[in-house]
Chains A and B, each alone.
Chain A
Amino acid sequence: MKRRLLIMVALIFMLNTIIFAQQPKTQNSKLKIQNAWVRPAAKGANSALYFVIENNSIKTDTLIGAESKIAEEVEVHESFKKDNDRMGMRPAGKLAINPKSEFEFKPGGFHIMLLGVTKDLKIGDKIEVVLLFKNKGKIKIKAEVSDMPITKKMKQ
């Protein structure tokens, strides 16, 4: 009887751990996402999401992807300079965020590409995107639609 009870408690604990691990985390003190903003886009078009990752921990973490209901596909991309006045864009793959550092996703550089947005993204609207980190797991962020960088620190 006692053994059965122990097994039950252990199973409940494991189940809770699994469910908790799959829930997107809100901001924690070690890994912060600041100043998130996203470009306007008409339904079906593409947009780009920008923000700053602050890694205040002593360990490297890795951004491995992103997901959102707001777009058909979500990819991590990078704009790059081809030569003097030509620009291109390519998938960026996984990005290591060094300890005690900031990593900026900004116009003309790294961005989260939202492909085929599922509704009009009008200036002032807010969207939700989940960033996937190797160690921290999922972090849910809110981003405001703007045609300029959002400089004030937004609460996530």
Chain B
Amino acid sequence: MKRLSIPFILLLIYGCREKLPVVDDFKNSNYKLINQNNQEVIFPDFVKGKLVVMNYIFTNCPDICPLSTNNMRLIQEQLKKEKIDNVQFVSLSFDPEFDSPEVLRKFAGIRNLDLSNWTFLTGDKSTTDSVIKKVGVLAVPNDSTIFKNGRKIYYYIHTDRIQLIDPEGRIRKNYKGSTINVNEIIADIKSLQ
């Protein structure tokens, strides 16, 4: 009986520690991307050693992506209040042909976002496509609007996601970006610290 109970207790302890199982791993994956300041960064290398809260957006989206981005801001503010640091925020555009570094900088600037620990990323379409494929985010152009001057913009059907990545570059949990429970992700962040 004793022999049986020891492995069971160890399994229980291990199970409690692994509250957030590994969903996927960025191990051996590095992507050359551009930040909002037009600087080249290697993702996820540049955030290694930090917990990462990441969302996937396109700036022509007026509703869901601003909702998700605002939720990222609320998480960031709550972490500041609780004096929890070593967390990096990342927003990756899956519409890099429109979302230049300048467009991303303005998107963040008009919302007064604190970019001290928040990076917006864009890059080659093939590279951003590789990242979203790796993390299981889908983004497919759907409807569009043609302006009077002929300019055309697309609206994507896309995965509405905020993701928690641990300091080793492992994805630990996916949340619905537009409706995320801020207290839930704060608790998850604490459990990984």
Residues in chain A within 8 A of chain B (CB atoms): 39-42, 45-48, 72-73, 75, 77, 79, 82, 85-91, 107-108, 111, 113-116, 120-123, 147-148
Is B62 touching A111 in the complex (CB atoms < 8 A)? yes
Is the beta-carbon distance between B179 and A114 smaller than 8 angstroms? no
7 A-B residue pairs with Cβ-Cβ distance under 8 Å, sorted by A, are A47-B62, A48-B63, A79-B63, A82-B157, A85-B174, A114-B62, A116-B147
- Which B residues lie within 8 Å of A72 (CB)? 147-148
Q: Does B32 contact A (CB under 8 A)?
A: no
**Across the interface, which residues of B come within 8 angstroms of A39, CB to CB?**
62, 66
List the B residue with the shortest CB-CB distance to A89: B155
Chief secondary structure at chain B's binding surface: mixed
6 closest A-B pairs by beta carbon, nearest first, are A88-B157, A42-B106, A48-B62, A46-B62, A42-B110, A87-B160
Count residues of chain B with CB under 8 A from any CB of chain A.
Answer: 36
B48 at interface by CB-CB < 8 Å = no
Cross-chain contact B64 with A87 (CB below 8 angstroms): yes
Given contact pairs A88-B157, A108-B178, A115-B147, A42 touches B70 in the complex (Cβ within 8 A)? no
**CA of A47 to CA of B67, assembled, Å:** 12
Please tell me which stretch of B9-17, B34-42, B138-146 contacts chain A, meaning at least 4 of its Cβ atoms lie within 8 angstroms of it. B138-146
The reply to whether B160 and A48 form a contact with Cβ atoms under 8 Å apart is no
Asked if B112 is at the interface (CB within 8 A of a chain A CB), the reply is yes
Judge whether A122 and B110 touch: CB under 8 Å. Answer: yes
> Is there contact, CB below 8 Å, between A86 and B160?
yes
Q: From known contacts A107-B178, A115-B147, A147-B70, infer whether A88 and B110 are also in contact, taking CB-CB under 8 Å.
A: no
**Are A85 and B176 neighbours in the complex by a CB distance under 8 Å?**
yes
* B107 interfacial contact with A, CB 8 Å: yes
Question: B147-189 toward A: CB 8 Å interface, digit per residue (1/0)?
Answer: 1100101011111110000000000001010110000000000
**Closest CB in chain A relative to B164 CB, distance in Å:** 15
Bound Cα distance A147, B109 (Å): 13
- In addition to A42-B106, A107-B178, A116-B151, 13 A-B residue pairs with Cβ atoms within 8 Å of each other are A40-B110, A46-B60, A46-B61, A79-B63, A79-B64, A85-B174, A86-B138, A88-B155, A91-B143, A108-B178, A121-B110, A123-B111, A147-B111
Task: List A contacts of B159 (CB < 8 A).
Answer: 85-86
B119 located at the interface, meaning its Cβ lies under 8 Å from any Cβ of chain A in the complex: no
**Shortest distance in angstroms between A124's beta carbon and chain B's nearest beta carbon?**
11
Residue picked from A88, A115, A116, most chain B C-beta under 10 Å: A88
